[in-house]
Amino acid sequence: MEFGLPLEDILQKLAEEGYRISRRTFLYYVQLGLLPKGKRKGQKSGGVKFYYPTWTLERLKTILRLKKQGLTLKEIKKRLPREIPSPLPPKTFPQTARLKDCNVCGICGAICPVHEEMDLSPWRLIQAWLEGPDSLPSANTPWVCVGCYLCEERCPREIPVVDFLRFLRREGLPPGKRWRKHPEWSRIFWSLLEERGRSFDFGAVHAYHIRIIGSGENQRLFLRLPGPEGEKEVSAPSKIKNLSAFRRALEHAREWP
Amino acid sequence: MKVLYYPGCSSEHLARDFYLSIEALASFLALELEPLPDWNCCGAREIEEAPEGVGLFLASRNLALASGKELLVTCSLCFHNLKRAQNILRENPIWRSRMAEVLKDEGLELSPDLPRILSLTEFLTRIDFSRFRSPHFRGFPVAVYYGCFLSRPYPTDLQALEKVLSAAGYPVIPTTLKTHCCGGHLPRTDSPVIKNLCRRLLFEARQKNASGLAVACPVCKLNLEIYGDPPFPVRYFTQYLGLALGISPSWLGIPEEE
């Protein structure tokens, strides 16, 4: 949470540690540019609260300590790092501006072939995201999306719905709100890809229940087929030629966020 | 003219029959099709949770290996992944230079204008199948099904299957759900949703008196076979084409008892 603490919480925490500062003084410091500006956020109960980055607390403590030493606010401002440390950049969806075009018509949810499996319709997530990343509820929607692009095709405002869900799945949601689809398959998929350069469309065979015995050269894969055939052993995919160079390049490609 | 093609991981297992029928067609029609040497996995659906660079690298490596002007892609999901990566490389110079740097680790290079990515459906429209039809073949009505990735978001020719199959002698029955979704990689496999989607597709084909459904995507075929209830004949369009040319079913990956 980048804009995590409301003013009241900051003051209370300081009071617990023995610092004394009034709300008015706090706001004065903000006005002077000693503290960062807060982010306005509507409350469910009505009214508005201002939220400040968590590092505000440390900065305020430094200010109060320096003040105790008898420095004036002007001197303190000079001593503090000129650049207010920027909070970890919130993961932003590059096309957020286009999401603002959403007119809440609900077609994306209605046309979605798998909407019955979703906790929330895509448009609800779009609206929540526009409210602020922290408002995003925990929902399985990004993981259920099969990527058929019907919603994007039908969206009257040409909103990149699939890209947005992809973004939520990849990086937009904090760990607590993530929903692991099938960690075991993911692990097998990537380990085969690294070992051989080729893998197996596990997404497609998830219905088959894969069983793996051994590793490396002795690895054996079994698929359990629906129907009378029962279980069937399949060979692991063939290898590409220069695996060490491939692995190096794959590692290299992981560098960029 | 030699054409390189990207078979994808499914060609080794799930879509073995697709692969066999493509090879059979190629040798029968003397097409110079050649699998892309040393191709690697495109990352399937898993790249969506990996950093963007990983998916782009997996696709870029294949694009760099395909030094020619065209790269034929047989699997729909691979087609989507490669096409998407190609678009990003063309539009975003930052990703392009990053990929050039990564590919150097393997001594590979991207050609200035990347190869044109072709779907198998479009590629086969270049061939006039009416010339090769077996005189003993009697066509039966089939419906066609493209699935998602050949229709969206990078649409291919959505009359391609109709063109080749009717030239090969099949009366093609028009359907309204030909570009709809089969449920794809829905994570919950016991879900009634995926069953309903598959049943609906087969229901339409059956209601319109088709004797079979011609598909172009390995995942669609798998879903329709597993979840389609009651069972209905679903084959790759290349298998239907092969039958019309008089190729033996076993060459096309069609089990003998059928």
Q: What is the CATH number of the domain that holds A25?
A: 1.10.1660.10
pLDDT at site A128: 93
pLDDT at site A83: 53
Q: Which residues, in sequence order, are bridge partners of residue A130?
A: none
**Residues A187 and A172 grouped into a single domain:** no
Cβ(B154)–Cβ(B86) below 8 Å: no
Give me the numbers of helices (H) and strands (E) for chain A, helices first please.
13, 6
CATH of residue B238? 3.40.50
Name every chain A residue with its beta carbon within 8 A of the beta carbon of B77: 201
Q: Structure tokens of A121?
A: 């319709």
Distance from CA of A12 to the nearest CA of B (A): 40
pLDDT (tens place) for every residue of chain A, 257 residues total: 455 788 888 888 888 888 888 889 998 988 888 888 888 877 777 788 888 887 788 888 888 888 888 888 888 887 776 555 544 445 788 898 999 999 999 999 999 999 998 999 999 999 999 998 888 888 889 988 989 999 999 999 999 999 999 999 888 887 777 776 666 677 778 888 888 899 876 545 554 566 667 766 676 767 666 556 667 677 778 899 999 999 999 989 988 76
How many other CB atoms are there within 10 angstroms of residue A42's CB atom?
A: 12
Q: Which residue among A16, A47, A79 closes a domain?
A: A79
**Residues A235 and A213 grouped into a single domain:** yes
Name every chain B residue with its beta carbon within 8 A of the beta carbon of A116: 192-193
Determine the residue of chain B that is closest to A115 in CA distance: B193
Whole-angstrom Cα distance, residue B204 to residue B210? 9
pLDDT cut 90: percent of chain B above it: 78
Instruction: Give me the residues of A, 139-168, that contact B with CB < 8 A.
Output: 143-144, 146-150, 152-153, 162, 166
Distance from CA of B132 to the nearest CA of A (A): 34
Question: Under 8 Å CB-to-CB from B67, ≥6 apart: which residues?
Answer: B111, B115
Name every chain B residue with its beta carbon within 8 A of the beta carbon of A200: 9, 13
B211 by Cβ neighbours in 10 Å (0-12 / 13-18 / 19+) ranks as: middle
Determine the residue of chain A that is closest to B220 in CA distance: A204
Q: Which amino acid is at A214?
A: G
Residue owning tokens 């479009």: B122
Record: contact A204-B191, CB cut-off 8 A: no
A88 by Cβ neighbours in 10 Å (0-12 / 13-18 / 19+) ranks as: exposed
Range of the domain at A113: 96-177
Record: contact B102-A241, CB cut-off 8 A: no
Cβ(A189)–Cβ(A202) below 8 Å: yes
**Residues B171 and B217 grouped into a single domain:** yes
Instruction: Give me the residues of A, 89-128, that contact B with CB < 8 A.
Output: 113-114, 116-117
DSSP state of A55: T
Q: Which residue among A177, A197, A225 closes a domain?
A: A177
Q: Which residues, in sequence order, are bridge partners of residue A50?
A: A40
Q: Which residue among B123, B153, B175 closes a domain?
A: B123
**Residues A10 and A43 grouped into a single domain:** yes
Distance from CA of A103 to the nearest CA of B (A): 22
**Residues B111 and B172 grouped into a single domain:** no
pLDDT at site A224: 64
Distance from CA of A125 to the nearest CA of B (A): 18
The residue among A235 and B97 whose pLDDT is bigger is B97
**Residues A221 and A191 grouped into a single domain:** yes
Whole-angstrom Cα distance, residue B24 to residue B27? 5
Residue B128 within a domain: no
Q: Which residue among B96, B123, B150 closes a domain?
A: B123
* DSSP class per residue in B107-134: T----SSPPEEEEHHHHHTTS-GGGT--
pLDDT at site A87: 44
Q: Which of B145, B137, B194, B198 is nearest to B168 (CA)?
A: B137
Residue B257 within a domain: no
| Type and span of the H or E element at B138 | none
Q: Structure tokens of B69?
A: 């002007």
pLDDT at site A88: 46
**Residues B117 and B153 grouped into a single domain:** no
Name every chain A residue with its beta carbon within 8 A of the beta carbon of B222: 204-205, 207
pLDDT at site B192: 84
Q: Which amino acid is at B205?
A: A
Name every chain B residue with its beta carbon within 8 A of the beta carbon of A248: 105-106
Return mean pLDDT, chain B: 92
| Type and span of the H or E element at A184 | helix A183-196
**Residues B65 and B158 grouped into a single domain:** no
**Residues B78 and B169 grouped into a single domain:** no
Distance from CA of B133 to the nearest CA of A (A): 34
pLDDT at site B38: 94
**Residues B116 and B216 grouped into a single domain:** no
Question: Under 8 Å CB-to-CB from B115, ≥6 apart: which residues?
Answer: B63, B66, B67, B68, B69, B70, B71
DSSP state of A52: E
Q: Which residue among A27, A44, A79 closes a domain?
A: A79
**Residues A13 and A34 grouped into a single domain:** yes
Q: Structure tokens of B197?
A: 């989607």
Residue B11 within a domain: yes
**Residues B106 and B217 grouped into a single domain:** no
Residue owning tokens 């709300």: A23
Residue B48 within a domain: yes
Determine the residue of chain A that is closest to B218 in CA distance: A204
Q: Which residue among B123, B143, B178 closes a domain?
A: B123
Range of the domain at B88: 3-123
pLDDT at site A209: 60
Residue B66 within a domain: yes
**Residues A72 and A128 grouped into a single domain:** no
**Could you give phi then psi for residue B35, rounded to 5 degrees?**
-60, 140
**What total of structural domains would you count in chain B?**
2
**Residues B20 and B45 grouped into a single domain:** yes
**Residues B46 and B109 grouped into a single domain:** yes
Whole-angstrom Cα distance, residue B59 to residue A7? 49
**Residues B118 and B142 grouped into a single domain:** no
Residue A59 within a domain: yes
DSSP state of B180: S
Residue B215 has pLDDT above 70, yes or no: yes
**Residues B42 and B151 grouped into a single domain:** no
Which of these ranges, A159-173, A206-220, B20-34, B189-203, has the smallest mean pLDDT?
A206-220
Distance from CA of A200 to the nearest CA of B (A): 6
**What total of structural domains would you count in chain A?**
3
**Could you give phi then psi for residue A223, rounded to 5 degrees?**
-115, 135
Mutation target to probe the B interface, by most B beta carbons within 10 A, among A201, A242, A247 is A201
pLDDT at site A66: 85
Cβ(B186)–Cβ(B160) below 8 Å: no
Reported as half-sphere exposure (CB side, CA atoms, 13 A), residue A19 has a value of 23
CA–CA distances in Å: residue B17 to residues A13, A27, B214, B221, B251: 67, 71, 13, 11, 9
Q: What is the Cα A170 distance to its own chain's centre?
A: 7
Name every chain B residue with its beta carbon within 8 A of the beta carbon of A111: none
Record: contact A169-B148, CB cut-off 8 A: no
How many other CB atoms are there within 10 angstroms of residue B226's CB atom?
A: 17
pLDDT at site B74: 94
Q: Which of A14, A7, A58, A78 is nearest to A37 (CA)?
A: A7
Residue owning tokens 């969506």: B48
Determine the residue of chain A that is closest to B47 in CA distance: A170
Cβ(A108)–Cβ(A151) below 8 Å: yes
What confidence category does residue B234 fall into, taking pLDDT thresholds of 50, 70 and 90? very high
Q: Which of A209, A201, A215 is nearest to A231 (CA)?
A: A209
Residue B58 has pLDDT above 80, yes or no: yes
Q: Which of A189, A190, A249 sits opposite B106 (nearest CB)?
A: A249
Distance from CA of A203 to the nearest CA of B (A): 6
Q: Which of A197, A177, A114 is nearest to A148 (CA)?
A: A114
**Residues A74 and A101 grouped into a single domain:** no
| Type and span of the H or E element at A20 | none
ipTM: 0.91
CATH of residue B88? 1.20.1050.140
Cβ(A25)–Cβ(A68) below 8 Å: no
* DSSP class per residue in A109-164: HHH-TTGGG-SS-HHHHHHHHHH-GGGPPP-SHHHH-----HHHHH-TT---HHHH
Q: What is the Cα B195 distance to its own chain's centre?
A: 22
| Type and span of the H or E element at B195 | helix B192-207
Instruction: Give me the residues of A, 171-230, that contact B with CB < 8 A.
Output: 181-182, 186, 189-190, 193, 197-207, 226
Record: contact B46-A203, CB cut-off 8 A: yes
Mutation target to probe the B interface, by most B beta carbons within 10 A, among A93, A95, A141, A146 is A146
Determine the residue of chain B that is closest to A161 in CA distance: B153
Distance from CA of B32 to the nearest CA of A (A): 23
Name every chain A residue with its beta carbon within 8 A of the beta carbon of B102: 249, 252-253
pLDDT at site B6: 96
Count contacts between A and B (CB, < 8 Å): 163
Reported as half-sphere exposure (CB side, CA atoms, 13 A), residue B161 has a value of 27
